[in-house]
Amino acid sequence: MKAKNIIVLFTCCLASHFCLAQTEQTSDLKTFRPAESNQPGKLFPQVNREGKVRASLYAPHASKVQLDLGGKKYEMTKNEAGLWMGESDPQDEGFHYYQLNVDGASIPDPNSRYFYGAGRLGSGIEVPADDEAFYALQKVPHGLVSENIYYSDLTKTWRRCFIYTPAGYYENNKSRFPVLYLQHGSFEDETGWVNQGKANLILDNLIAQNKAKPMIIVTDNGYALKPGDKETAQKGQGISIFEDVLIKEVIPMIDQRFRTLADREHRAIAGLSMGANQTMRIVMKNLDKFAYYGGFSGTSNYPSTDAVDPNVFMDGKFKNGTEVNHKLKLLWLGLGTKEPAPFPKSVGAFKAMLDQQGIKYTYYESPKTAHEWLTWRRSLQNFAPLLFR
């Protein structure tokens, strides 16, 4: 009888412990914490492991405040002290742009750090990701990101690019390094790959684990207009000459100012969305300058006959697949599994063309992400280790 009671008591204790563990786990998922992307010392916005976002704004005289996130506006409520609070539905993991709407006017959240995206400086928030360690700030040797200002004779404007040099670059002044030219997407700029994409941290972590070769990364502004009518240029309707700027000005400048391995075997180019389209056109016209290509969430208008060298690309297809296989050591494509139209269709059509031409490529899908920075962070994480091998 005693033994039976002991067994019952043990079973009840075990069940109680299990239920408590479940409750704690559920509670942890629902617990809100300040977002990693907040301004220093700010308690809001907050996120939890379910992906929900809470925003707060002190606006005692406002009559209506909304949280504008993920294509949806969430109503916020005001307490007696004039503090507004609102909560979103669960969001995908990773980085998201958002705004606050106050009486019809969209403003950045004063509690968030600001990022240039969607054609403006605005708020951004990090929703915790299960695999976030690969782009987290870790205790490893860190490279340096520097701002490089230059005058472009082609655009008749001052421009800038950012350069990541790996850890040890300035300690050992004899070593030379391969270069990856990495481009942003539409309505973003040269700051995106560092601020939102965390490219420098991704490479720091990969290099520290011996998963990627130490390399220089250059991120330039993909918007470069031919000099002409100022009013037209201000509207963004001028003629784009970014490809010429990169080939004729940026690459020679980088090779002159930095210790690069200045040949095609040690030069790669990649981009996301609009940048994928730009870099595809560039690489197809300059196979003598690049041996590695990466397209992250490539756009629907991949190279047409008038955009590339007709000796390489003709009638919507590569003219000589054997030559492409010989010259490109890596042709890499990446996409999120939740990408909206037209990206899955266009990338799928491009893959079908490569298959038909017998051209080798590597394809990657980021699980449960759409047209967003976690897709592109994961793409870089998988692309970089294959470079310069």
Q: What is the mean pLDDT of residues 105-127?
A: 96
155 lies in the same domain as 287: yes
Burial (0-12, 13-18, 19+ Cβ within 10 Å), 118? middle
CA distance 111 to 25: 29
299 lies in the same domain as 172: yes
Lowest mean pLDDT among 242-251, 264-273, 283-292: 283-292
Among 148, 204, 134, smallest CA distance to 382 is for 134
Instruction: Give the domain range for residue 111.
Output: 33-128
Residue 15 lies in a domain: no
- Does residue 308 register a pLDDT over 50? no
Domain boundary among 104, 128, 152: 128
Helix (H) / strand (E) element for 339: namely none
Strand pairing category for 267-272 and 292-296:
parallel
149 lies in the same domain as 73: no
152 lies in the same domain as 121: no
64 lies in the same domain as 122: yes
86 lies in the same domain as 216: no
120 lies in the same domain as 225: no
**CATH of residue 85:** 2.60.40.10
Alpha helices by DSSP H, the chain? 2-30, 192-195, 199-208, 230-234, 242-244, 251-257, 274-285, 321-327, 343-357, 373-383
Rg, the chain, Cα only:
25
Residue 7 lies in a domain: no
Residue 21 lies in a domain: no
- If one counts the domains in the chain, the total is 2
Number of H helices, E strands in the chain: 10, 21
Whether this prediction's pTM lies above 0.75 is answered by yes
Residue 26 lies in a domain: no
Residue 27 lies in a domain: no
Residue 171 lies in a domain: yes
pLDDT, position 239: 87
Q: Which two tokens stand for residue 296?
A: 């992250």
Residue 28 lies in a domain: no
CA distance 181 to 193: 11
- Does residue 10 register a pLDDT over 50? no
Q: What is the mean pLDDT of residues 48-62?
A: 97
Residue 236 lies in a domain: yes
Is 183 in contact with 293 (CB distance < 8 Å)? no
Which pLDDT band, with edges at 50, 70 and 90, does 228 fall under? confident
Name residue 240's amino acid.
S
Output phi, psi for 60, to 5 deg.
Answer: -65, -25
85 lies in the same domain as 218: no
Q: Which two tokens stand for residue 207?
A: 């290099």
- Does residue 343 register a pLDDT over 80? yes
Q: In what order do the strands lie in the sheet with 267-272?
A: 144-152, 157-165, 216-220, 179-183, 267-272, 292-296, 330-336, 362-366
73 lies in the same domain as 205: no
Mean pLDDT of the chain: 89
